Amino acid sequence: MAQGRNTLMDPPIEDLLDKVDSKFTLVALGSARARQVNSYYNSLGEGLGKVVPPQVASVSGKPVSIAFEEIAAGKATYIRVDPEEEAALAAALAEAEASALNEVAEEIAPPTDIVEELGDEDPTAS
């Protein structure tokens, strides 16, 4: 006789919650990975190779089940970004962009002596 599962979901939700810090993270990670798995199956035969294939051998062919099995196996993970680090990175990026724009503006600006000469002429004199 076949051995039955003790829950309706395999892997059990308790095992999945041990791999993440909250139910929200589990849902977000599972749905993101399920979309990637779905994109992989939809792009088969096109030769693009942009999306990572499923990382576990699964009995189920459904993307969400495959994603949850990957989470349970530790193949799909997440990184929690610290808001302070993210703000510091954004500020550094904005500063670098401003510096690059100033350098480009200096390169394309006309020399000041030409601007002064043009400013001395009266355009109505001709």
Tell me: pLDDT of 115 over 50: yes
With left for phi above 0 and alpha for psi between -120 and 50, is residue 45 left, alpha or beta?
left
pTM check: above 0.85: no
What is the per-residue DSSP string for 18-86? HHSSSHHHHHHHHHHHHHHHHHHHHTTTTT---SPPPSS--S---HHHHHHHHHHHT-S---PPPHHHH
Query: Cα separation of 64 and 13, whole Å?
Result: 13
Task: Tell me what the mean pLDDT of segment 118-126 comes to.
Answer: 57
Mean pLDDT of the region 75-103: 90
pLDDT tens-digit readout, 94-104? 999 998 888 87
Residue ranges covered by each domain of the chain: 13-73, 83-120
